[in-house]
Chains A and B, each alone.
Chain A
Amino acid sequence: MSTASLDLATIIVGYVRSVLIYIAPYILTSLGVVISGRSGIYNISAEGVMLLGASVTFLATYFSGGNILIGISYAVLVGVVVGLAFGFLTISLKLNQFVVGTTFFILCSGFANLLYKLFIGVTLTPPSIETLRPITVPVLSDVPYVGDALFKHNLLVYLSFVLVAASYYLLYKTFTGLNFRSVGENPKAADTLGINVTLYRYVGTTIGTILMSVSGSYLVLSTTGLYTETIVLGRGWISVGIAIFGRWHPLWALVGSALFASVEALVYLLQSLQSVLGLKVPPESLLTLPFIATLIVLALVYKKAELPQAIGRPYDREAPEEYA
């Protein structure tokens, strides 16, 4: 490696650029968990839904001759189906949300791998699909350094930021948001005032699962264009953690996502710099960093924890009042 490519500016630009590459799945999934949670449904199956979205996107894109739009559409469709099923079990049948979440995590992961094996099978060289091409934002991308780092990413990356802004606006600056959030805080209050608690919760859950599924799409459509069983690698679970210490707020979820994308980018940076820095660490030990980080962050913010008051509890209009 020539000394020119080692100068600090290049490294920093490269680092920021990679943070933005890795941030999208965290944003999309944690946003999905947050929106679902704000309506009162605690959906921990994110990891499984992401894998399923990844698998379906890959297969749909591959068998449609590289049509990425079809791939993403299938992911959205899967998100809807999973959301409605999850909603049915937790909202209409009022089953325990953690039990359903654990089961769906296992089921969706199983289906993801099953589908891939059924359609592709075991091959020597895994097939790949075309990845999303980066969009160069006019004018802004020509800014030295910053342009390379921030404005040459693919559509889904920009979309995830837009979604954060949109969710924040809708949830906190409109009547719809006020009504929506009340369903997760005190469904009895909302119900009495005419809000259709069931409908809002189904919508919240399904938007959540769609986001999780598309997050999985991103994983196969960026960088490698491959699908593997380990492509999600815990990001789904970390995103649930982000929702928790982001206090179920879209803007804080963004901050948390940035944090973890930075950690992930740091891991790869350290790995590539190993030979240069003379580090003799087994690569796997670096890979444990994001998980250790999650544990530390969760412990640090416990004092400020805040959740939607009714999250995780099913709503039953005819249930007796506390002091009945």
Chain B
Amino acid sequence: MSSYKEDLSVVRPYVRLEGIYKRFGDVEALKGVTLDIFTGQVLGLLGENGAGKTTLMNVLFGLYKPDAGHIYVNGRLVKIKSPAHAIGLGIFMVHQHFKLVSNYTALENIAIGMSSGLKSIKPMSLAELEERLNKIMEYSGLYVNLREKVKNLPLGVRQRVEILKALVRGIKILILDEPTTNLTPQEVDTLFKALRNLIREGLGVVFITHKLHEVMAVADEIAVLRSGVLLGRFKRPEVDQATVIKLIVGERIDLEKSIIFGGFKFLSTSTHMEGAANSELLKVENITLRDKLGTTILEDISFSLSRGEILGVAGVSGNGQREFVEVLFGIRRPTSGKMLLEGADITNSSIRDRILMGFFYIPEDRLSEGVSPTLSVMENLVLGIHFTYSTKKLLIDFKRIRDEATQLVKKYEIKTPDITTLASKLSGGNIQKLMVARAFHTRPKILIAHNPTRGLDIATTEKVLNEVLRLKSSGSGIIYVSEDLDELMLISDRIAVMYKGRLVGSLPRDKFDKYEIGKLMAGVVGG
């Protein structure tokens, strides 16, 4: 197990997690996991959403207390009380949602908590810290403009600030949770190169992901988790992809028919391709959006969507995707430009009118935009079309809502004690299922989906993708905005890229190329 003749890392693991159990309510997230983590190597922690990878690392990082099991750091048994405690032990975790103060500069963010005692009330000087950081940026290859406010930094750079936080504190083990989510393919390469630099300096990295090809590119060893159980640990050269995939998904997916794993044969039934007359569903012309202060958020966006077409919109988060879908759905009015639905001008139509015309929306932020937490599951399932459930104009037809809700909960396997349960009691994945159920239930003519499979396990993701394809074959148009380029390439007829508020490129399916799209995502023009 520990025959690393090539590198000089210590034989004993820096961290040993032994028999870790963790339960949330009546869900057992971790069932007796034992894992060793070594310095000097990248360990890929692989598994689908909900497998327990993040939970396991959260335990190590002091965010959760294990119900049972032991943790050894550097050979000594420890009880990790808090993230700060974990950092003191040399462990740092960078989550998907960055922990940065957007109003502070990068340097100030790194400086938080770095002083102690009397030094804290003397006038603050960050010069020394800046010096140290410059050296670290040199050897790691992770450059950041330290004097810039974080809110002005792109996501890829913010991630580097998080990593620098760890490095300047002399961390031994760096845990990265799904770090490629918000990176262009080129930025991913930079990150992977940086990780190899860090490994050379003696760091150990744990790389959490649900994408096999990522661990194949960067990890030295791979550990596979499913439903809270560690199923296997492999050295990268020894990996057999098929075996690993089987371990990840178990028996629930028929790989022959799976969309995600390529068993499914995608038939492009887009009428756009056939050039049929009257196939154009939505036409967007020169949409520009400026905010109160005059900053341009969306610039001159034009495209058309045909019946039965899935338009995939790629791009790193923060390039205007949120505002883009909001303008499409009517949450915001564009400053200039036009939107036409089958020829009719709907630029200034209200959200309600658009819903009545056949639009629907799956927002990306499920907690703040997807549901009303203290309304019941049943009431949430009709949010948006609630006014269509009225008898005599004003009163709500609860019976109809109840019947339909019961069916939906069954169809989409939404785990809830009852349809009258408050939505806040649902897990994140089930809230996502609720949002998806609600959207598909309205049988929309145009569906606007923003990261609809975020946080979903593989089986549910398959289901959602299937529904999307079924919607497509019934003639609806779908605008699918996602940061997951792999997923977009699976189901889109065309892919366009959002970069700094502009919609660039429009690659048809037969011309899909990851690196070409990546160039567009990074703003390289003429790609």
A193 at the interface (CB under 8 A from B): yes
The smallest beta-carbon distance between A10 and chain B, in angstroms, is 43
CB of B466 closer than 8 Å to a CB of A: no
Q: Does B292 contact A (CB under 8 A)?
A: yes
Q: By the criterion CB–CB under 8 Å, are A323 and B455 in contact?
A: yes
A175–B119 CB distance below 8 A:
yes
Contacting pair A174 B121 (CB below 8 A): yes
CA A253 – CA B63 in complex, angstroms?
37
A296-324 residues with Cβ-Cβ distance < 8 A to B are 303, 309, 317-318, 320-324
Per-position contact with B for A174-187: 1 when CB-CB < 8 Å, else 0?
A: 11111100100110
Verify A189–B428 contact, CB threshold 8 A.
Answer: no
Q: Contacting A190 at CB < 8 Å: which of B54, B87, B97, B113?
A: B113
How far apart sit A309 and B101, CA to CA, in the bound complex (Å)? 9
How distant is the Cα of A36 from the Cα of B95 in the complex, in angstroms? 29
- Tell me the A156-199 residues at the B interface (CB within 8 Å): 170, 173-179, 182, 185-186, 188-195
Give 6 closest A-B pairs by Cβ, nearest first.
Answer: A194-B84, A193-B113, A175-B115, A189-B99, A194-B113, A176-B120
Bound: A70/B96 CA distance, A? 54
Q: Which residue of A has the minimal Cβ distance to B455?
A: A323
CB neighbours of A323 from chain B (8 A): 96-97, 365-366, 428, 454-455
Q: In the assembled complex, which residues on chain B have CB atoms less than 8 Å from the CB atom of A188?
A: 99
Q: List B266-292 residues whose CB lies under 8 Å from chain A.
A: 292
Contacts of A185 in B (CB 8 A): 101-104
A322-B365 contact, Cβ under 8 Å, with A178-B111, A189-B100, A194-B84: yes
Check B101 against A174 for contact (C-beta < 8 Å).
no
Interface membership of B516, Cβ < 8 A: no
Given A318-B64, A324-B428, A173-B123 contact (CB < 8 Å): yes
Chain B residues within an 8 Å CB radius of A176: 115, 120-121
* B399 in contact (CB, < 8 A): no
Contact of B83 among A174, A192, A303, A320 (CB under 8 A): A192
Question: Are the C-beta atoms of B109 and A174 separated by less than 8 Å?
Answer: no
**Between A and B, how many residue pairs show CB distances below 8 Å?**
95
A186–B367 alpha-carbon span in the complex (Å): 18
For residue A320, which residue of chain B has the nearest CB?
A: B428
Are A174's CB and B122's CB within 8 A? yes
A192–B80 Cα gap in the complex (Å)? 13
Tell me which residues across on chain A come within 8 A of B88, comparing CB atoms.
Answer: 194
How many angstroms between the C-alpha atoms of A257 and B95 in the bound complex? 42
B82 pairs with A191, CB closer than 8 A: yes
B89-109 near A? 1/0 per residue, CB < 8 Å: 000000111011111100011
> In the assembled complex, how far is the CB of residue A206 from the closest CB belonging to chain B, in whole angstroms?
18
On A, residues with C-beta under 8 Å from B are 170, 173-179, 182, 185-186, 188-195, 303, 309, 317-318, 320-324
Which single member of B100, B108, B365, B368 contacts A178 (CB below 8 Å)?
Answer: B108
CB-nearest residue of chain B to A317: B63
What residues on A are CB-neighbors of B100 within 8 Å? Answer: 186, 189
With A178-B108, A322-B365 as known contacts, state yes or no: A186 contacts B101, CB within 8 Å: yes
- Judge whether B84 and A318 touch: CB under 8 Å: no
Residues of B close to A320: CB separation below 8 A: 428
Q: Does B127 contact A (CB under 8 A)?
A: no
Contact with A along B340-375 (1 / 0, CB 8 A): 000000000000000000000000011110000000
Flag if B83 contacts A182 (CB, 8 Å). no
Q: In the complex, A186 Cα to B108 Cα: how many Å? A: 13
**A179 and B120 within 8 A (CB):** yes
Q: Are B115 and A182 in contact (CB under 8 A)?
A: no
Interface residue? B124 (CB, 8 A): yes
CB contacts (< 8 Å) of B1 on chain A: these are none
**B165 contacts partner chain A, Cβ-Cβ < 8 Å:** yes
**Contact with B112, one of A195, A318, A321 (Cβ below 8 angstroms):** A195
Evaluate contact between A321 and B123: CB separation under 8 angstroms: no
A324 cross-chain contacts in B, Cβ below 8 A = 54, 428, 455
**B395 at interface (Cβ–Cβ under 8 A)?**
no
CA–CA, A174 and B124, complex, Å: 5
30 A-B pairs whose Cβ atoms sit less than 8 Å apart in the complex? A173-B123, A174-B122, A174-B123, A175-B120, A175-B124, A176-B121, A178-B104, A178-B112, A182-B101, A185-B104, A186-B100, A189-B101, A190-B113, A191-B82, A191-B83, A193-B87, A193-B113, A193-B165, A194-B87, A309-B103, A317-B63, A317-B82, A320-B428, A321-B95, A321-B96, A322-B368, A323-B96, A323-B366, A323-B454, A323-B455
- In this complex, the member of A174, A182, A185, A189 whose beta carbon has the largest number of chain B beta carbons within 10 angstroms is A189
Measured between beta carbons, the chain A residues less than 8 angstroms from B394 are none
Taking the closest CB of chain B, its distance from the CB of A197, in whole angstroms, is 10
- CB of B114 within 8 A of chain A? yes
A190–B114 Cα gap in the complex (Å)? 11
Known: A174-B123, A174-B124. A309 touches B113 (CB 8 A): no
Known: A193-B84, A324-B455. A179 touches B63 (CB 8 A): no
Q: Which residues of A contact B99 (CB under 8 A)?
A: 186, 188-189, 192
| Distance A176 CA – B100 CA, assembled complex (angstroms) | 17
Q: Distance (Å) between the CB of A67 and the closest chain B CB?
A: 33
Contact with B109, one of A189, A303, A318, A322 (Cβ below 8 angstroms): A189
Tell me if A321 and B103 are in contact (CB < 8 A): no
Q: How far is the CB of A184 from chain B (nearest CB, A)?
A: 9
Contacts of A309 in B (CB 8 A): 101-103
Docked CA distance A272–B106 (Å): 56
Once the chains are docked, how many angstroms separate the CA of A179 from the CA of B368? 28
Q: CA–CA, A177 to B108, complex, Å?
A: 11
Given the contacts A321-B95, A321-B96, A190 and B455 also touching, CB distance less than 8 Å:
no
Interface centre among A179, A303, A317, A323 (most CB of B within 10 A): A323
Q: How far is the CB of B149 from chain A (nearest CB, A)?
A: 12
Q: Which residues of A contact B95 (CB under 8 A)?
A: 321
State in angstroms the CA–CA spacing of A174 and B103 once bound together.
17
Known: A193-B87, A322-B367, A323-B454. A175 touches B111 (CB 8 A): yes
Q: How far is the CA of A170 from the CA of B123 in the complex (A)?
A: 9
Binary flags per residue of B421-445, CB closer than 8 Å to A gives 1, else 0: 0000000100000000000000000
Given contacts A174-B123, A303-B292, contact A179 B112 (CB under 8 A): yes
**Cβ of B366: which chain A residues have Cβ within 8 Å of it?**
323
Residues of A close to B122: CB separation below 8 A = 174
Query: How distant is the Cα of A174 from the Cα of B95 in the complex, in angstroms?
Result: 28
Q: How far is the CA of A192 from the CA of B113 in the complex (A)?
A: 9
Q: Pick the contact of A193 from B96, B112, B120 — CB < 8 Å?
A: B112
